[in-house]
DNA sequence: AGCGGGACCTGTGGGC
DNA sequence: TGCCCACAGGTCCCGC
């Protein structure tokens, strides 16, 4: 569920709560929620949280060494190995961030707790909760991050593309929906926004990608950008689990044309929406509006 | 190459 | 009411 608009909303709501805080301790309640190639969690202690950004479906928390430690640290001296410079977090389906008061007990699905010290000296706890436990926190240096195939091969940001840029990326005979979901083609699109953008562009998700004309690819790119922007403006879509870092739900699920509406009436033509399986995913299509 | 299917997880909802 | 199973979703990995 957290796709580009939801991760963007998480980042925007998390930023004012954690930027400028210092990490004082980390409790890992589920080891497998850490990316195995990352640095150990102890290396986070003492670092400050700087910029909070998004790339594709990843939330990125930049880390800064405190000024005092900077001055004291000679290269390769004391204190052991490398320091992480960022946290890369993939929420997958049910990952979520919430800031709790100091001393709060873990929740049923809390996987990692970051103990924080705010600039004003008060304490807080950043919970990484994840019901399905597919989410991943990567404690990284730039070098470690670049060693992650998923990161290195991420495609362009859909909202930063020119409409004419999509067409050349839609090569081959795979279903066009499969390409929209492929993070090396575009970064950040998941099942919801693939289905919604294909409906808006009037394109059948099952069509081979290479069969799209340049004009169709361009209208698909514009439709995708529209749907992503509209969703961000409404703080994303909440299907069941998704919440932003304030615990609030999004509203864009009320604007869906097709996602989750199989068997219901098409909002555009009144016909019956069909449910199919495309690229291994549940896919809703209006046979009258999409060709 | 690209597809399907299983694995990873847990909660929900439909059918009986 | 209760049980079972399908399903949901993103990514990786395997085999065809």
| pLDDT over 90, % of chain A | 78
Tokens 């049910």 correspond to what residue?
A94
Query: Nearest protein residue to B9's C1' (by CA)?
Result: A132
Please, which positions of strand B sit below 7 A from a protein CB?
1-6, 8-12
**CA at A15, C1' at C5: how many angstroms apart?**
41
Q: Which residue out of A92, A267, A281, A287 is catalytically annotated?
A: A281
Q: Is A64 a catalytic residue?
A: no
**Local confidence band at A242 (pLDDT 50, 70, 90 cut-offs):** confident
| Among chain A residues 225-264, those with CB within 7 Å of any atom of strand B | 240
**Alpha carbon separation from A186 to A56, A60, A209, A222, A266 (Å, rounded):** 8, 18, 14, 14, 27
Q: Which residue out of A54, A57, A169, A207 is catalytically annotated?
A: A57
* Cβ density class A140-150: b for 16+ within 10 Å, e for less: bbeebbeebeb
Q: Is A5 a catalytic residue?
A: no
**What would the mean pLDDT of A88-114 be, rounded to a whole number?**
94
Q: What per-residue confidence (pLDDT) applies to A123?
A: 98
**Local confidence band at A233 (pLDDT 50, 70, 90 cut-offs):** very high
CA dist., res. A183 & res. A136, Å (int): 16
Burial class (CB in 10 A: 0-12, 13-18, 19+), A9: buried
CA dist., res. A138 & res. A155, Å (int): 19
| pLDDT over 70, % of chain A | 95
Q: Is A16 a catalytic residue?
A: no
- Between A191-201 and A214-233, two packed helices, what is the crossing angle to 10 degrees? 130
**CA at A118, C1' at C12: how many angstroms apart?**
38
Q: Is the pLDDT of residue A245 over 90?
A: no
Q: What per-residue confidence (pLDDT) applies to A69?
A: 52
Q: In this structure, is the CB of residue A280 within 7 Å of any atom belonging to strand B? A: yes
**Local confidence band at A202 (pLDDT 50, 70, 90 cut-offs):** very high
**What would the mean pLDDT of A198-225 be, rounded to a whole number?**
95
**Alpha carbon separation from A107 to A27, A35, A85, A112, A142 (Å, rounded):** 13, 21, 28, 10, 32
Q: What is the mean pLDDT of chain A?
A: 91
Predicted TM-score of the model (pTM):
0.94
pLDDT digits (tens, 9 = 90+) for A46-80: 999 999 999 999 999 999 998 765 555 545 444 67
A109 nearest nt, CA–C1': B10
Q: Is A55 a catalytic residue?
A: no
Determine the longest span between alpha carbons in chain A, in angstroms.
70
Tokens 């340049």 correspond to what residue?
A214
């Amino acid at each position: 569920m957290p796709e580009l608009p939801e991760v963007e909303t998480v980042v925007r709501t998390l930023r004012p709560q954690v930027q400028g805080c210092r990490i004082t301790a980390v409790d890992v309640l589920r080891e497998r929620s850490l990316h195995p190639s990352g640095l150990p969690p102890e290396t986070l202690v003492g670092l400050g949280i700087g910029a909070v950004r998004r790339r594709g479906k990843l939330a990125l928390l930049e880390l800064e060494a405190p000024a005092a430690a900077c001055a004291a640290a000679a290269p390769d001296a004391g204190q052991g190995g490398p320091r992480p410079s960022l946290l890369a977090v993939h929420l997958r389906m049910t990952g979520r961030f919430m800031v709790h008061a100091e001393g709060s007990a873990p929740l049923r699905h809390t996987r990692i707790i970051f103990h924080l010290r705010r600039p004003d000296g008060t304490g807080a706890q950043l919970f990484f909760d994840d019901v399905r436990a597919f989410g991943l926190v990567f404690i990284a240096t730039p070098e470690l991050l670049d060693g992650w195939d998923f990161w290195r091969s991420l495609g362009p940001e859909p909202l930063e593309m020119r409409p004419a840029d999509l067409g050349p990326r839609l090569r081959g005979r795979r279903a066009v929906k499969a390409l929209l979901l492929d993070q090396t083609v575009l970064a950040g699109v998941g099942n919801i926004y693939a289905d919604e953008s294909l409906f808006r562009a009037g394109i059948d998700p099952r069509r081979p990608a290479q069969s799209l004309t340049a004009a169709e690819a361009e209208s698909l790119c514009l439709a995708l950008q529209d749907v992503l922007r509209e969703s961000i403006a409404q703080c994303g879509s909440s299907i069941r689990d998704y919440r932003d870092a304030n615990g609030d739900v999004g509203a864009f699920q009320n604007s869906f044309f097709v996602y989750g509406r199989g068997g219901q009436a098409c909002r555009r033509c009144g016909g019956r929406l069909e449910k199919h399986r495309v690229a291994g995913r549940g896919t809703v299509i209006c046979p009258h509006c999409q060709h």
